[in-house]
Amino acid sequence: MSDIIVPGLKSSELIAELSKAFEQFSPEERAKLIKQVNGVFQFVIKGKDGKEEIFTVDVKKEGKVMRGKGPQKADAILSLKDDDFVALATGKLNGQKAYMSGKLKIKGQIMLAMKLDNVFKSVNPTAKL
């Protein structure tokens, strides 16, 4: 999990929390979330220094989180700034508004991105996407 945290990237701490939550799920809880979401998300997060980090959240086969591109092709690629990811994941930024305003860019299955609220709620019950 410590390999997920990137110094200076606040969103990596939230992604590490998501990874920890996935690891603590029972096989039944993991299977339920995979059935609900059924997708692989790739987050391209741009830090204040302009560097980009990629994180993959597999909620299709394994139910795990990793830094970098995962072994499976992403169904939805979401690109956003570090602060916007934090606001989105903590429920302070509405996903639809973020998308419409250009803060969030999505490639691939846009409708699948709407299921991200189920993923964030597994860690933070107040998150709204």
Residue 13 is predicted with a pLDDT of 92
* Domain count of the fold of the chain: 1
Structure tokens at 127: 């998150």
The Cβ-side half-sphere exposure at 128, using a 13 Å CA radius, reads: 7
CATH number for the domain spanning 82: value is: 3.30.1050.10
Please report whether residue 94 resides in a domain.
yes
Please report whether residue 127 resides in a domain.
no
Please report whether residue 2 resides in a domain.
no
Predicted TM-score of the model (pTM)? 0.90
What is the average pLDDT across 72-100? 92
Cα–Cα distance between 73 and 63 in angstroms, integer?
15
**Domain enclosing residue 70, as ranges:** 10-120
| Residue 103 confidence (pLDDT) above 60 | yes
At 107, the amino acid letter reads: K
Q: What is the pLDDT of residues 36-66, one digit of tens each?
A: 999 999 999 999 999 999 999 999 998 999 9
Cα–Cα distance between 15 and 56 in angstroms, integer?
9
Place of tokens 């509405």: 94
Q: Please state, as a whole number, how many other Cβ atoms lie within 10 Å of the Cβ of residue 73.
A: 10
> Which is higher by pLDDT, 101 or 123?
101
